Amino acid sequence: MSVLPVVICGDPVLHHPTEPVAEAEVGTEQFGTLIADMYETLDLAHGVGLAANQVGVSKRLFVYNCPDIDGPDGTRKTGADIDAQGGPMRRGCLINPVLETSEIPETMPDEEDDVEGCLSVPGYDFPTGRADWARVSGLDEHGDPVTVEGYGFFARCLQHEVGHLDGYLYIDTLIGRNKRAAKKTVKREGWTVAGNSWTPGVDPDPFGHDE
């Protein structure tokens, strides 16, 4: 396995919809290597999700390793619920995902509870409005049909990653002062052009996990 550089916002690969994965690609050695490398990169970056175009590959797939401990209406799962779900962490790959969600709020997101970050906007986070529930259907890395769904943070992760594959970043969905702050940040960092990236495990962790 290899660690891949994570592309930073401003690169065109992050701002155009990705190409569907062809059936013939699934299960090939090359495709399997890409998925394994994405898992390795995600783990070293301490992220919860990684889309293929974030590593420069314009294909419709993402991997995730995300906590799933939120229930409906802001409740927290009990120990029994977590066991029934296979543990508090959800890990997997989704190829050609199709997203369904509950209603997305139009009000200003909470400054603490709705904060969201992204490996392609390294070192920053902003309050982001998301639907409380999401379900994604597609194929797993073996080409078998799979559907995953969840609430709260896991639902946020699913929406975030499908957004990448549709050609936009979470900062594109921001509103009000959060949108203005993100635009200023991107301009200040020089993330308006192609070619910027960082490599987990090589470059300092922009979110401070190495400290």
Residue 85 resides in a domain? yes
Q: Please list, in sequence order, all residues whose beta carbon lies within 8 angstroms of the beta carbon of residue 208, skipping any fewer than 6 positions away.
A: none
C-alpha Rg value of the chain to the nearest Å: 17
Q: Which domain, by its residues, includes 153?
A: 6-198
| H/E run at residue 152 | helix 152-165
Residue 69 resides in a domain? yes
Tens digit of pLDDT for each residue in 9-18? 999 999 999 9
Q: Is 118 annotated as a binding residue?
A: yes
Asked if 61 and 21 touch (Cβ cutoff 8 Å), the reply is yes
Tens digit of pLDDT for each residue in 118-131? 999 999 999 999 99
Give the amino acid at 165.
Answer: L
Exactly one of 40, 116, 141, 161 is catalytic; which is it? Answer: 161
Residue 210 resides in a domain? no
pTM, full prediction: 0.93
Cα separation, 119 vs 51, in Å, equals 10
| H/E run at residue 84 | helix 79-84
The domain that contains 37 carries what CATH number? 3.90.45.10
- Percent of the chain at pLDDT > 90 equals 85
- Give how many domains the chain has, as a whole number: 1
User: Is 23 among the residues known to form the active site?
Assistant: no
Arithmetic mean of pLDDT, 90-110: 95
Asked if 149 and 136 touch (Cβ cutoff 8 Å), the reply is yes
For 82-85, the CB contacts below 8 A with 24+ separation are none
User: What is the sign of the dihedral through the CA atoms of 70, 140, 162 and 198?
Assistant: positive
Residue 44 resides in a domain? yes
Q: Please list, in sequence order, all residues whose beta carbon lies within 8 angstroms of the beta carbon of residue 92, skipping any fewer than 6 positions away.
A: 63, 64, 140, 146, 148
| Closest C-alpha to 206, from 119, 115, 112 | 119
Q: Please list, in sequence order, all residues whose beta carbon lies within 8 angstroms of the beta carbon of residue 96, skipping any fewer than 6 positions away.
A: 20, 21, 60, 61, 138, 139
Residue 171 resides in a domain? yes
Q: Is 164 annotated as a binding residue?
A: yes
Tens digit of pLDDT for each residue in 134-145? 999 999 999 999
